[in-house]
Structure 1
């Protein structure tokens, strides 16, 4: 049963309180380690912490947060933009465990492997010979418990994209137009492939032994599929008119890879500040064949993170646009546009669970929409320009960074409180704040129905008594 009206939900909660001997749902071991951008290739990070309860509220950090906070092993790892500060927090208490320092900007998430986290650093400034990244660029490996540096690898170009852990190797895409394979124990690297352009924020996506990454620059924009087993490029697809594909982390699921990019409009065509057309492309993940594409719309040129990052959930692509200031849903296989919602500018990938998809905007809003219809289920203003990397869901809490330096951990029920107050149907799992199991939820619903039935019996009995008294009075 997907949705309940507020009165029935309240009765279910009351019935739940009547079960005095019921044991709480046991915590599991949590999800596996965070080993690529936004946890997996679909870019839909919905995780279980394995903890009984996690911290909710706002955590302050010294500088802008532009990467998705990494959630793994009962901790939250956060990097800062200009300052390069790196921090670990206890997920249960929100307490800071340690702070370290990267030599330059941090836009990379920290990926986890066997007691260490690895993070890229570097800036987007274009240097000599078309290499993006000036000053220090590279990768750090740190101990997850202490923050002490295990090793440091310097690279010619920035490592703003999140590294990807594949078996006993770590792969990085860089501002010097290359893909590198790194030994996670020693930091030794091997150049593996020419990506045909600079990679700025296109976190490599790894699925079924293939690594996908976008690149842009003076050459045509390129999407590369690299076979990590064969150590060779499987295919590359060029996009002649597009730009800034190196800003976009591709999403992969069900044999399809999806990416977006803007196209500059011809001279004389722009009107009223409109200069670019925003496109979405879907390719066969095995061959690179173009399956479908669509124009999201047109809008002004965006200064940073010029495109929107896609996410895939249950056969549907969800994506926002900073150009059109709207959010969209597409059928993954056919490319049919399912709905459009005018959310405001969205740069990061959304996150979806239980029929609700959550988009974060550059003006500080979280919009919760029905996955199937695009209708609004709720919203919340968190303030600041939310990170251009998108939110994550942990247990029943939405976690998102902000360029005001904060990380917000907000219960989903607080985002969905508007439809609940208005009596709009909302997913049951988003309405109950405790972490009840599916079996307990069914039991609560059954008990609420029993309570209603008992109330009906009481009402009927009282009516019978009144009728009997009235009959005696007449006699």
Structure 2
């Protein structure tokens, strides 16, 4: 009876844990659905078998062995239960819960922030108002409708004509100040770390600063600028195929290199004769001359720029927000619009939850999502809110794709939705229950299908795929399911095609197994050219070419640690790796035709092509333009070896 009782305890706890969906917390790899429950059914079945054998076997050794196994299962399930309780307590105790919850973020008010947090908020908004498009600095005034802490004072330290440190402090809290370093006019990336250490990490301001509260200004919307270019870049990487290619006519200008202030994750956008580059940590936005790389104007956003700016040829709009504090409403986030020709700010809209994605331009409106799962439609001219709604998931780092009047969004943790771009009503939503981080890679849309990718959990691999995985990875996957509070493990990555009209799955790729840890969050955005598609899978560190209609894999090669989409031009695939390698391959068979090596690699910023120039932006903010013909022929400097 004791053995049967112990078996009953194991079965009961296993059933409870298997049927109860765990609190997410920060633990993205937790699977749901049959794959999740199966693991606990296995534990329960082992307990029943051990109890029956121990109770009925006439052989002492077998009986005692079964009893020991049963006691081991009791300890295991007890440890699993304790781990789950601890996970729930950890999530409940988080000041900034993950995933962020709209109701919690909306509760965050400036007056409720700590003095240091109010100073950090204010210094970001102050920087947004301080920088002039010509690279000069102006008096800071704050529009009346903007969220600015009323007790915060600002002070500037002018280090030279191109370099200012902006300080902020809450009244009476000198030891909880915040500093933001601003450099304009082609800063030296090698100096970035020094400036960040000296300023951005400090909380005690230098003595003798002239503190003052910025004047409150009236809200005004400048006149709508005239169109400056017949070209536009209306969504992430230009179009729903993510080609990142604009006009290719005419002779390419000579190559050039320059730099922007801060590290970069966003691809460049090209509108007319301007190259637009956003800074990751600094919030800088720089417009460069396409032909020469000369700086045309600069701006500062209230937080990071994580994805491409977009433009209709008159106005440029960019999302801003970071990957932690602004998700919880503790740093500014939203979208800002500027005059494309001059860089003069037009309007800024602040939202709950981080905006780490590119908006899309739909007629006279923009549409974008936030990290707390809200979707907004605003007037392009003045930022007026036209419509908003709550989504069934988070818009984390996956910019939406727009085809006609249909907006496609990839959401965390494992969902994609098609939405009417005018009414913001759902057309369909489809859940991929075994995948995570679907909201970290932009959906690609072409010929009636939507391509998405996600991180594979323990519920994803087939039996055959499990047999081909590393035993250590299988062990870690099983352990991550039993103890989700202690382990975060992915099996690899997969991609899938959904039907644009109703969302059903047309096909899924095989599993591409996980060989490494990805620095930062994963991605995996497909690029389509004609009848071929190419995708970088960071968790699998693999570059894959496949048929977008059937999903049949044509070839796969090493990904060089890259996270950004590739560029496809003249039937060649151009890959930029985090390890500093540029590879050019034939799209049909994967044959390597050129390798270029650089001292610094690239991250999410994939290459773009405009007027015959391939434009690359690396991790430290260096911008390089290479004539496409030279890159395809590998006719580069001697130090750029061909293999």
User: Does TM, normalized by the shorter one, top 0.5?
Assistant: yes
**Is 1:144–2:360 an aligned residue pair?**
no
Cα pair distance change 1:323/1:270, threshold 3 Å: farther
**Is 1:296–2:503 an aligned residue pair?**
no
Which deviates further from its counterpart, 397-406 or 268-277? 268-277
The residue number in structure 1 matching 2:323 is: 124
- Does the CA-based 8 Å contact 2:257-2:623 persist in structure 1? yes
Output aligned runs, 1:209-358, within 5 Å.
209-216=405-412, 220-265=413-458, 269-270=474-475, 275-294=490-509, 295-358=511-574
Distance 2:415 2:561 in 1: 25
User: Shift in Å at residue 73 of structure 1?
Assistant: 1.8
- Does the CA-based 8 Å contact 2:516-2:539 persist in structure 1? yes
Larger radius of gyration: 2
The residue number in structure 2 matching 1:404 is: 620
The residue number in structure 2 matching 1:375 is: 591
- Does the CA-based 8 Å contact 1:141-1:150 persist in structure 2? yes
Secondary structure of 1:269 counterpart? helix
- Does the CA-based 8 Å contact 1:50-1:74 persist in structure 2? no
User: Shift in Å at residue 345 of structure 1?
Assistant: 2.1
Distance 1:335 1:383 in 2: 36
- Does the CA-based 8 Å contact 1:104-1:122 persist in structure 2? yes
Cα pair distance change 1:254/1:34, threshold 3 Å: same
User: Shift in Å at residue 285 of structure 1?
Assistant: 1.0
Cα pair distance change 1:375/1:169, threshold 3 Å: same
Which deviates further from its counterpart, 399-408 or 153-162? 399-408
**Cα deviation digits, residues 90-128 of structure 1 (max 9, x gap):** 11221101111101111131111252101110001167x
What is the TM-score with the length of structure 1 in the denominator? 0.76
Higher relative contact order (CA 8 A, sep 6+): 1
User: Shift in Å at residue 61 of structure 1?
Assistant: 1.1
Which deviates further from its counterpart, 330-339 or 267-276? 267-276
Distance 1:255 1:132 in 2: 36
Match of 2:281 among 82, 87, 108: 82
Distance 1:394 1:268 in 2: 43
- Does the CA-based 8 Å contact 1:214-1:246 persist in structure 2? yes
Which deviates further from its counterpart, 253-262 or 118-127? 118-127
Distance 1:418 1:151 in 2: 44
The residue number in structure 2 matching 1:206 is: 402
How many aligned residue pairs are there? 387
Match of 2:632 among 416, 420, 425: 416
User: Shift in Å at residue 268 of structure 1?
Assistant: 7.3
Q: Which has the higher helix share?
A: 2
The residue number in structure 2 matching 1:38 is: 237
Secondary structure of 2:630 counterpart? helix
Match of 1:61 among 243, 253, 260: 260
User: Shift in Å at residue 208 of structure 1?
Assistant: 2.5
Distance 1:344 1:302 in 2: 11
Secondary structure of 1:328 counterpart? strand
User: Shift in Å at residue 77 of structure 1?
Assistant: 0.8
Match of 1:154 among 311, 329, 350: 350
Output aligned runs, 1:422-461, within 5 Å.
none
The residue number in structure 1 matching 2:132 is: none
Can you give the 5+ residue segments of structure 2 that lack an aligned partner in the other structure? Answer: 1-227, 460-471, 478-487, 638-643
**Is 1:175–2:362 an aligned residue pair?**
no
User: Shift in Å at residue 322 of structure 1?
Assistant: 1.5
Distance 1:301 1:197 in 2: 25
User: Shift in Å at residue 270 of structure 1?
Assistant: 4.2
User: Shift in Å at residue 230 of structure 1?
Assistant: 4.7
- Does the CA-based 8 Å contact 2:308-2:358 persist in structure 1? yes
Distance 2:588 2:238 in 1: 24
What is the TM-score with the length of structure 2 in the denominator? 0.57
Secondary structure of 1:416 counterpart? helix
Distance 2:538 2:291 in 1: 34
Distance 2:559 2:565 in 1: 13
- Does the CA-based 8 Å contact 2:245-2:608 persist in structure 1? yes
Distance 1:245 1:293 in 2: 14
Could you say what the CA RMSD is over the residues aligned between the two structures, in angstroms? 2.5
Secondary structure of 1:46 counterpart? coil
